[in-house]
């Protein structure tokens, strides 16, 4: 009889542990969603800043943040918009760079 009680106590303790683990996993999933949003927003911010100043530097950082944000599960549209802004800022900075080189080669 005591063996059955011990077994049932152990089973109850295991159930409690499993519930605690599942709660922790749910919290971790929510953190991943928040990080996805943060990376996407950072990608947009760096992409827009790159349109006006230091386009190559901010464009690369925005592109990296956007790609990392796409790897997450939720809210990929924010990361996609950030990637688009970052690519535009990279292209703009490259066009300005090569334009300056071509102007300098004339003189």
The string of DSSP codes covering 28-67 is HHHHHHHHHHHHHHHHHHHHHHHHHS-HHHHHHHHHHHHH
Q: How many domains does the chain have?
A: 1
pLDDT at 2 over 90: no
Does 13 have pLDDT greater than 90?
Answer: no
Could you list the residue range(s) of the whole structural domain that residue 76 is in? 2-106
Supply angle C-alpha 66, 69, 73, rounded to 5. 145
Please give the DSSP secondary-structure letter assigned to residue 53.
Answer: S
pLDDT of residue 50: 92
pLDDT at 48: 94
Which tokens go with 1?
Answer: 């009889």
In whole angstroms, give the CA distance from residue 76 to residue 83: 10
pLDDT in tens, 64-99: 999 988 887 666 888 899 999 999 999 999 999 999
Span 28-60, pLDDT tens digits: 555 555 555 888 899 999 999 999 988 899 999
């Amino acid at each position: 009889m005591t063996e059955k009680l011990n077994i049932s106590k152990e089973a109850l303790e295991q159930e409690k542990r499993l519930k605690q683990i599942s709660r922790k996993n749910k919290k971790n999933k929510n953190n991943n969603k928040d990080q996805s949003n943060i990376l996407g927003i950072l990608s947009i911010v760096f992409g827009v800043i790159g349109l006006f100043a230091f386009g190559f530097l901010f464009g690369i950082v925005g592109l990296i943040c956007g790609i990392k944000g796409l790897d997450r599960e939720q809210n990929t549209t924010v990361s996609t918009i950030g990637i688009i802004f970052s690519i535009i800022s990279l292209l703009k900075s490259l066009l300005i760079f090569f334009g300056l080189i071509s102007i300098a080669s004339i003189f």
